[in-house]
Amino acid sequence: MSSKYNIVSLIRKKRDGKVLTSNEISYIVEAYTKNEIEDYQASAFLMASFLNGLNADESAALTDSMLHSGIVVDLSSVSGKKVDKHSTGGVGDKLSLILAPVVASAGVPVPMISGRGLGHTGGTLDKLESIPGFTVDMDLDRYLDIITKHGLVLAGQTKEIAPADKKLYSLRDVTATVESIPLIAGSIMSKKLAEGIDALVLDVKYGSGAFMKELDDAIELAETLVSIGEKFNKKTVAYLTNMDQPLGFKIGNWLEVEECVEALQGDGPEDIMKLSNLLSGTMIWLGGRAENVEEGIRISEQQISGGYAFRKWIDIVEEQGGDSSVIKDLSKYPKAEYEFELHSKVEGYVSGMNSYEIGIASLELGAGRVSIEDKIDPMAGITLEKKVGDKITKGETILTGFTNKPAMIETVTEQLYGAVEISREKPEIKPLVTHVSDSEGTRAFEL
């Protein structure tokens, strides 16, 4: 190698807790992407970065070099400020499918590139693909066509987008270096910035069903994401949201599409509607179509009540090859072969629903994948009949499971009993959104 950098010296520098320059970070990312650095050296560097951290400049340099490892989409031909949203992932979090058509119908273009589910949380792409015929795979020309025509596109990550992130992420996955705030932030932001956006809304989740169990870690992640966004001159707003129980009532790919359709028709659960309107409202404001977030929320509500959001949703489903007849009539979708109910053994109040356990149960029923090659069953999942705070009598149904794998029912039933807590006293309900983080810092914000 004729480079002026030596990878062993750079690993040593990070190992010893020193700060790397932007050029040094770029060298590592570029050389690794070109296979000029070995996997075992990249993994040693990742572990040293995990344990000694990367500061704001290093995180921005990492993002920048991963971003420029591939193409950055030029959306200047699409008029208006392009705004996207990213969620760090939670059980039952299907909000992208609601807010994308809401925001696009309000005149703010949403060029959304999403990921697949891995672990206990579902992925937007898997949910979209539960709609018969819907395709998320497309080349750049088609991506530009769709966003130009509809002000909205729902695509998967192509190989041209941040290939360095793809390679590094695969390595992190097998070397226990995933849960690092700067590495997570770099991975998220490099992909989002590559979409060609002008602004970004983030839903950073914490609690039992989220990757970040603690609020403090979630705040640190939110602030890192915002600081990277600001360094790239993209207005970035992050909400900190509680994931101690699943979002909405439905978990599983098609089940979540169903709940989104209900929401787009103005008939969604309260938590879903509130959070979705907050995020949509913020996107509409960042897109320059509202004076402030409050006005954005009002516009968001109107896009739903006026039927504009649902119409946009039908348009995009049809544009991307989906069968809109099942969207227009949800009862036409096939059902899972097996259904089972979980009944309360006592009387009282639902006081806890461990989203992580419920997410894993849904995965085991067929809704998720253990390894990247696993096939997903779009019909599998769980419908909650109760949520935290609800009164329940003995024998009443807590939730219903749907699966095509009957052998899993017994195991999963056991797990689900362990995931639901019932107490005699009515529990205190935690607010759904607790903080907001933007260029001015982090402050309390309740919803």
Q: Interface with a copy of itself by CB under 8 A: which range of 46-54, 148-156, 344-352, 355-363?
A: 46-54
Can you read off the two tokens belonging to residue 117?
């589910």
User: At its nearest, how many Å lie between a copy of itself and the CB of residue 175?
Assistant: 4
d(CA 19, CA 10): 10
User: At its nearest, how many Å lie between a copy of itself and the CB of residue 171?
Assistant: 6
Torsion, CA 357, CA 358, CA 359, CA 363, rounded to 10: 100
Report which DSSP code applies to 19.
Answer: P
Residue 52 binds a copy of itself (CB under 8 A): yes
Q: Interface with a copy of itself by CB under 8 A: which range of 41-49, 53-61, 191-199, 427-435?
A: 41-49
Residue 41 binds a copy of itself (CB under 8 A): yes
End-to-end CA distance of the chain: 55
Q: Which of 26, 33, 43, 157 binds a copy of itself (CB under 8 A)?
A: 43
User: Which of 85, 166, 191, 312 is flagged as catalytic?
Assistant: 191
d(CA 240, CA 172): 25
User: Which of 172, 192, 234, 289 is flagged as catalytic?
Assistant: 172
Q: Which of 25, 29, 47, 128 binds a copy of itself (CB under 8 A)?
A: 47
* Concatenated DSSP letters of 181-236: HHHHHHHHHHHHHHTT-SEEEEEEEESTTSSB-SHHHHHHHHHHHHHHHHHTT-EE
> Helices in 210-333 by DSSP H: which ranges?
215-231, 253-264, 270-286, 293-305, 308-319, 325-328
Residue 46 binds a copy of itself (CB under 8 A): yes
Residue 50 binds a copy of itself (CB under 8 A): yes
Identity of the residue, 140 or 178, whose beta carbon is nearer to a copy of itself in the bound complex: 178
Query: What type of residue sits at position 229?
Result: G
Q: Which of 28, 29, 42, 73 binds a copy of itself (CB under 8 A)?
A: 42
Residues 6-25 that bind a copy of itself (CB under 8 A): 8-9, 11-12, 15
- Is 74 catalytic? The answer is no
Identity of the residue, 75 or 212, whose beta carbon is nearer to a copy of itself in the bound complex: 212
User: At its nearest, how many Å lie between a copy of itself and the CB of residue 50?
Assistant: 7
User: At its nearest, how many Å lie between a copy of itself and the CB of residue 225?
Assistant: 23
Report which DSSP code applies to 118.
Answer: B
User: Which of 165, 315, 377, 438 is flagged as catalytic?
Assistant: 165
User: At its nearest, how many Å lie between a copy of itself and the CB of residue 156?
Assistant: 26
Identity of the residue, 177 or 282, whose beta carbon is nearer to a copy of itself in the bound complex: 177
Closest-CA residue to 293 (of 304, 277, 282): 282
- Is 165 catalytic? The answer is yes
Identity of the residue, 217 or 323, whose beta carbon is nearer to a copy of itself in the bound complex: 217
Q: What are the residues whose beta carbons fall under 8 Å from the beta carbon of 57, sequence distance 6 or more?
A: 19, 22
- Is 424 catalytic? The answer is no
Closest-CA residue to 357 (of 291, 413, 302, 312): 413
Residues 142-171 that bind a copy of itself (CB under 8 A): 171
- Is 39 catalytic? The answer is no
Closest-CA residue to 209 (of 357, 416, 424, 362): 357
According to DSSP, the β-strands at 391-392 and 348-353 are antiparallel
- Is 205 catalytic? The answer is no
Contact positions toward a copy of itself, by CB under 8 A? Answer: 8-9, 11-12, 15, 38-44, 46-48, 50-52, 171, 174-177
Catalytic residue positions, numbered: 86, 165, 172, 187, 191
